[in-house]
Amino acid sequence: MLRVKCLALTVLLLIVLIAPIAYAQPAACGYVSAAAKPPQSDSLYPAAIRRIDGKDLPTRALSRYPLSVGKHSLSIQELVADTPRGYTALRKLGNKEVAVVYKIIEIDVAPNMSYQIGAKLDKSKIDPKRPNDFWEPVVWKTLEQGCG
């Protein structure tokens, strides 16, 4: 009888220890993406995510990147001149082609949220003396999207 009670107690203890692992929710996460085309209003243009938290991304870009919940640093490259309207806007304002410069945007990723990244053109900041001041990286859209 004692042996049966010990065995039952052992099984119960194992269930108590293993159950949380078996039923654990997957770790919360969010996504960042620059794949979607920003709306043509509000001076928004495409951008590319080149680094996340200081780590270079593969040369073959993904459509979205999963991130853990919390603060993350993204290095963004503007693609304003890659669109006909952006190219025209920059040339009309006298901006010449310049070396690629990444700008950093900090994002506090919330669980089950997706962040669309783009470049916002500020025509008032086009200046030959500061050739990369004409844009800033922005989150132009957030969506609820479960991790999976």
pLDDT of residue 102: 94
pLDDT of residue 145: 85
Give pLDDT tens digits for 14-30. 444 444 443 344 578 99
Tokens, residue 123 = 């025509």
Give pLDDT tens digits for 86-102. 877 777 667 666 678 89
Identify the residue with better confidence: 50 or 18.
50
45 and 12 Cβ atoms separated by less than 8 Å = no
pLDDT of residue 72: 98
Q: Give the residue from 34, 109, 21 showing the smallest Cα distance to 76.
A: 34
pLDDT of residue 14: 42
The secondary structure of the chain as a DSSP string is -HHHHHHHHHHHHHHHHHHHHHTPPPPPEEEEE--SPPPSGGGEE-EEEEEETTEEPPSS--S-EEEESEEEEEEEEE-GGGSHHHHHHHHHTTPPP-----EEEEEEEPTTEEEEEEEEE-GGG-BTTBTTTTEEEEEEEEEE----
pLDDT for residue 62 is more than 60: yes
Tokens, residue 76 = 């963004």
Domain ranges of the chain: 27-144
Q: How far is CA 118 from the centre of its chain?
A: 10
Q: What is the pTM (predicted TM-score) of this model?
A: 0.74
pLDDT of residue 101: 86
Cα–Cα distance measured from residue 120 to residue 138, given in angstroms and rounded to the nearest whole number: 7
